[in-house]
Each structure stands twice: as C-alpha cells, then as structure tokens.
Structure 1
C-alpha cells in the first residue's frame, strides 16, 4: 500500500471513529433513561462540554510527549486503542453522571489524536519528499468523508438512538490504533531545544497578545463565536428526531428516519466551502469573511427555527448547506488572521491560543450554558423542547456577535495579506 493511500486511510478512520456518535449522542441520550429526571439538558450540556474541556490541555501534553519521548505514530495508536476500549464501556452506563466521566476519559484519549494525525501525515510526507501543501489537502478531505460515512452507517443501521453507535466507533478505533503501528516511524525530532521551557511547550507565550487591544478583541470574539460552533452538533440530530412526536409528521417521516443523513449535508458543505475561501479572502478580506461566517450562523439557526419535514424541508437542507460557510469561514480566516498579524516567534503559540479560545473555552461555555438555558427556559411541562424558540435564541446570539464584531473590530483589508500567507 502506497504512503499516500495509507495516510488517506488514517485520515478516513480518524474522523470515522468520531462521526459515528458525535452527531447522534444527543438522540441516544434524550431517548434513553439517562434523560430521566430533572435538568437533563444541563447534564447533557456538561457531557458534551468534555470535548472542549479535554481540548484545553491534552493536545499540548501529547504534543510534548511526541516531541520529546515517544514516536508519534506509536502514541497515536495507543491513544486510539484506549479510546476504543472506553467507548466499549458506554452501553453499560446507566446514569448521566457516570456517562460524563466515561465520555470525558474517551475525549482525553481522542481529542489529541486530531492534531497528532496532522503531525504524523506532515512528517511522513516530508520524509518521503512529497510536496505537503499540494498532497496533504486531498488526503485530509477523506477525513470529512470518513465522518460522513460513519454518520450514514449509524443512521442506516438503526443505531442513532441506541448504544450501537459507540460500538461501531470502538471497533474501528481499535483497528485504527493497530494500523497506526504499521505506519512509517515518526520519532521525536532531534532539533527540539533541550532548554525549551514548559511555557513555550504548552503554547502559553501567546497570552502576551492579550496586551494588544486588537488581538484581545479578536480572541474575545473567537471565544464568543466558539460558543456557537458545536450547538448544531449537539442538538441538530435530536431536533430532527423530535419531529416524530408531532402528529403532523410522525416517526415514519423521511426527516425523522434519516435525520443523521440529512445532518451530514453539513459536512459535505464543509468540503465545498473550503475550496471557495481563497476567492472570498482575496475579494473581501479577512474581516468581512469572518463577518460572513457570523451571519451564516444566524441563517443556520434561523432556518432550523422555521424548518419542518414538509413544506419547510428546504429550510432544513439550506441550513445544512449554510453550515459549511459558517464553520469554515471563521475557523480558517481566523487562523489566517493570526498568521498574518503575529510575530513569527510566537505564531505557533498564537495559533494554539486561537484554537483554545474557540474549541476550548468558547465551546465549553456554549455546551454548558446552552444545556442550562434549554432546561430553564425552553423545556415544556411534558418534557418536550420548544425547538423554535431554542433556535431563535441561538440565532439572536449569533446576530448580536456579528453586529458587535462589525462595529468594534477594526481591520483594514490589504491585498498583500494573501501574498503574505502564500509565502
């Protein structure tokens, strides 16, 4: 098997083992005894927040291990095997408090493998004299395809509301872990400075950027928008599945039966919108592209608020299409903003800080607060959720961020920005 094909398989499985349950865990949770009792929304919000919580510290810790003491491909394989073993335990869990800790442990093992998989691919491609910039993107896109395929398998196998979704992910994670040991060796780089301090290793040097008003404002908006990034991953599938309780549609509705497949349009859209980013950045500049992302989040939530499985199906589908712009435009243009406005000596730390503020702090707060808010304000007496008002409140939140960003964040578009990125 060629190097590129082996890395493509790694990328495919890397996101397959996440996509098998990430979008459907809410459907599983709210259709099981786990959701019985009070504050089910807040408990689920806490469980989902473990993704963000583990992202705050595990990628940095495993990065240090791979940089100093252990081959990256071996560490990657061990993490996936441990992740799979933990997922095997999920079906045995009968209360939400225990599920919180089980998923947290699973995420401690899984989340650092995302950055490790990139690092392994870069190292192997460079060692085999490939043009990384040219060869890596077509390999990485198979990760998104893996995520989509896993969603489809979970849906079509009837596993979206039961624990089989975790078994599917567990089996494939262990196979990926074993496969990782067959990859070319990626030993710790010899060039790592022996005297590099923990602050530099953990990427904490980037915190000095909070002393710059513009960068502090950017990171603050990154955190605020990060609160919205995982909301539809948390609630999108269970929102569509809940139409089965509406007598106008019922459990045999196409949207209810194939909710996960419909949600996968979002990931398909991601792969398309990534290709449009260079055009939008050249034409409109980084600030406007980030603003487009925020307005796309308003549409994403607003279309869900008014969509339904009948005459409103087009709104649900369009919301999934818009997701590609909402998610990609901020993550990628934000990363490029950091790349073009920070000193090279702290650029890696600054990128780590950007990821921490969006996928760490922001996503954690978004998961926790949304769960509490749904319990407190949008759960009816019979336990059903007022999804219309839930999505409208999320849309209002995104709109407020967009307006404040437009008014407060000053950044002049310069055509040279793209040239700087290219070099």
Structure 2
C-alpha cells in the first residue's frame, strides 16, 4: 500500500473512533445530570447502540454491498450523523433527546463496517496491513477522552454548568469533517454483482446457525451473550461512577483502558498459542470479576489504585474474550460460513447481549439508591461481578478444551 493511501485511511479511522469516544463515554454522566434522566432512561439511550448493531447488517448487506460505493454511503451517514449530533447538543430533555440518539446510532453503527470495507479494499494482505490502520482508531478514542478532561467538561463544575453538552458539538464537527472527507477516499464499489440476488439469511448470518449444533460452540455462544451483561455496566456506569466518587479527570483516565487494549492485543497470540482457547477466555472472564470487585471497594482517595487497575483491566477483558472469540468463531466456521458466523456472533453480542445488559444495568442503577439519593455504587458493581462469576463457572464446567492451529492464530491477530 502507498504511504499516501495508508495515511488517508489512518486519518479516516482516527476520526471514526474519535467521534464515538467523544460523546459515548460521558453519556452516562450527561443524561442524569443535565437531562434528569433515570437509570432506565439512561439504559434506553445506551441500548440504541444495540438497535443500531441489529439494523446495521440490513444497511450494509442490502444497500452498501448491492447498490452504492462504500465510501459514499460512509460520507452520507456521517453527514446525517453531524446533523443529529447538533440536535442532541440542543436537546433540553430526555424525551427530545432520545429520538435523535436512536437515529444517530442507526446511522453510525453501519459505518464501523464501512471503514473496514474501505480499508480492506486497498490492502493486498489485510492480516499484516490492517492493524497499522486500525490502531489509529484507538488513538482517536484516546485523544477524544483527553480533550474532554483537558477542557474539564467532565468535572463536577463542568457538569453543573452544562459543559458536558459540548461533547456532542465536538463529535458533530468531527462527523461533518469525516462526512466530506469520505467522498475523497479510494473508491470501494459494491461487492454483490448486479442481477445477483441477496438473501436475508446472508445478511444476518443465519446460515451460521448450524454451528450451534456443536456443543462447544453453543456454550461459547451463550457465554458470549451473557458476558455482555457485565460489559454493559461498564459502558453505562463507569464514567458517572468515577465522577461521583471524585476521581480527577475521569474521562482522560478511562483512556487507560484503550491503551491497555492495544498492549494486550500484542500479548494475545503468545497467550493463545501457549495456553489454548479455553484458558484464554477464562482469563478474560475472571478479569471481569476482578474489575468490578475493584470498582466496588475502591475510592478516589487511598483506594484510587484499585479504580485505575480496574480501568486498565479493560485490555484483558476485551481482548482475551471478544478478540479470542472472533478467532475461535472464524476457525469453527470454515471458508463457506466465515462472514456469516462473524455476523451472527456480532448480532448476538452487540445486539442481543448488550441490549439485555443495558436494560439490567438501568434497573440495577435505579434500584440501589441510598437514603440521601446517592447511588449505592458498591452493590451496583458487585452485581455484574457476580454475573461474571456465574458465566465463568458455566464456561469452565461445560466447555471442553480444543486446539486451534498456531499459525492460524498468529495470522489473525497480526
């Protein structure tokens, strides 16, 4: 790949995740403080991510893959997203805000696949070239978090003054830039030839359901959905929790999780090939248990190190379970069902699993409130930790170890 093309794709990936990290991380703090949203209303707002993930395959499969260039659809969706971000910035109450965030997520979630399509279309060997491009997305997310904390929008005073609302303007401007920039990206024509029919089962990955006949894959599939419940607690509650306990620069400190994600991704192939798939996933699950226990008993004073370790465990939590799971799914699917299997597991986790998780997290957050109306954070965090314990034990007892070819693992995480 030419250096110029690599730079253009890296900038695209930087903006793609700068946009997401620029508002989604602090949403859980913004809604109750500035729009007086309840826990269940906050859960409903976060759940729009899941609805977007469920609807995304239709947009990609039935429109992008069939009729229009990927970079053009990417541009249109981000321009729509910029307008919706401006409307979210101006919203004064949750009833007004919710339709905009729902529409935004329906527009944004397909772009995650579109930036990958644009990137892959320019690569001769994605297994070696994609990681260098994708890491700029993580950098974009980190920079967004640093900016929010640098401007003190997520501080107690910033929340009281309504400054956190500026995150939507920040992301909206970045979305507009990426929208116009997308039309200059290398052409990525439709994948499906004209005249060829596309089945709904192809779009949703339903052909991969036959993999569930395999006992091991079924246990992994169920565990993947269930572990998304604790994951939803982190997305929805981590930022407001850190603000409540008085952690300085909470959004900036949460980027430690993205830094650790990049670092542990480098360690994953070594751990995977040495200890096998089952032990790797178990380490990821145990990390969820430990993380939330640290959140439950840590504080912003002498126990601040517990909170920072909990944030840093994000790399193990995500890479050792979700990335490993993608590799395992790919190895079980075979050539014919690779795309369908990945589509199915994404729909199950980010769609169904996260949808359930956000709903549970909202109910728990609303229920455990102290007499002085502050949240009982210790109990709130012990619940997802307990759920992770149950999922870990389920997987430990029912899943039987199996080997995956070493060269295949190294290739897929390269």
Q: TM-score range by the shorter chain?
A: over 0.9
Determine the structure 1 residue equivalent to 2:136: 142
- Displacement after TM superposition at 1:273 (Å): 0.6
Determine the structure 2 residue equivalent to 1:132: 126
Using the alignment, how far apart are the partners of 2:29 and 2:173 within structure 1? 21
Matches within 5 A, 1:292-371: 292-371=283-362
Question: Which of 390, 395, 402 pairs up with 2:385?
Answer: 395
CA deviation profile, 1:252-291 (whole Å, cap 9, x unmatched):
xxx2x30111111111110101110100101111111111
Determine the structure 2 residue equivalent to 1:181: 183
- Displacement after TM superposition at 1:379 (Å): 1.5
Verify: 1:206 aligned to 2:208, yes or no. yes
Matches within 5 A, 1:15-414: 15-35=17-37, 40-126=38-124, 131-160=125-154, 161=159, 162-189=164-191, 194-244=196-246, 255=247, 257-376=248-367, 378-412=368-402, 414=403
Choose 148-157 or 190-199, whichever is displaced more: 190-199
CA deviation profile, 1:358-390 (whole Å, cap 9, x unmatched):
1111111000111012212x1123321011111
* SS of residue paired to 1:57: helix
Verify: 1:418 aligned to 2:406, yes or no. yes
CA deviation profile, 1:191-235 (whole Å, cap 9, x unmatched):
578134222233221223333333222211110012222321211
**Contact conserved, 1:59 with 1:111, CA < 8 A, in 2?**
no
Using the alignment, how far apart are the partners of 1:105 and 1:218 within structure 2? 32
Determine the structure 1 residue equivalent to 2:7: 5
- Displacement after TM superposition at 1:8 (Å): 0.6
* SS of residue paired to 1:68: coil
Using the alignment, how far apart are the partners of 2:218 and 2:336 within structure 1? 18
Using the alignment, how far apart are the partners of 2:194 and 2:167 within structure 1? 41
**Contact conserved, 1:81 with 1:173, CA < 8 A, in 2?**
yes
CA deviation profile, 1:3-61 (whole Å, cap 9, x unmatched):
010001001000000101111111111212433xxxx1111011111101110121342
* SS of residue paired to 2:255: helix
* SS of residue paired to 1:49: helix
* SS of residue paired to 2:389: helix
Determine the structure 2 residue equivalent to 1:248: none
Using the alignment, how far apart are the partners of 1:307 and 1:154 within structure 2? 24
Using the alignment, how far apart are the partners of 1:113 and 1:209 within structure 2? 28
CA-based RMSD? 1.7
Change in Cα spacing, 1:148 to 1:192, as seen in structure 2 (3 Å) is: farther
**Contact conserved, 2:276 with 2:401, CA < 8 A, in 1?**
no
Using the alignment, how far apart are the partners of 2:140 and 2:408 within structure 1? 33
Change in Cα spacing, 1:282 to 1:102, as seen in structure 2 (3 Å) is: same
**Contact conserved, 1:59 with 1:115, CA < 8 A, in 2?**
no
TM-score by length of 2: 0.93
Using the alignment, how far apart are the partners of 1:408 and 1:67 within structure 2? 39
Change in Cα spacing, 1:143 to 1:192, as seen in structure 2 (3 Å) is: farther
* SS of residue paired to 1:311: coil
Using the alignment, how far apart are the partners of 1:190 and 1:294 within structure 2? 39
- Displacement after TM superposition at 1:155 (Å): 1.8
CA deviation profile, 1:58-101 (whole Å, cap 9, x unmatched):
13422331211001000001111111110100132233233222
Change in Cα spacing, 1:199 to 1:182, as seen in structure 2 (3 Å) is: same
Q: Which runs of 5+ in 1 are unaligned?
A: 245-254
Q: Which runs of 5+ in 2 are unaligned?
A: none
* SS of residue paired to 1:185: coil
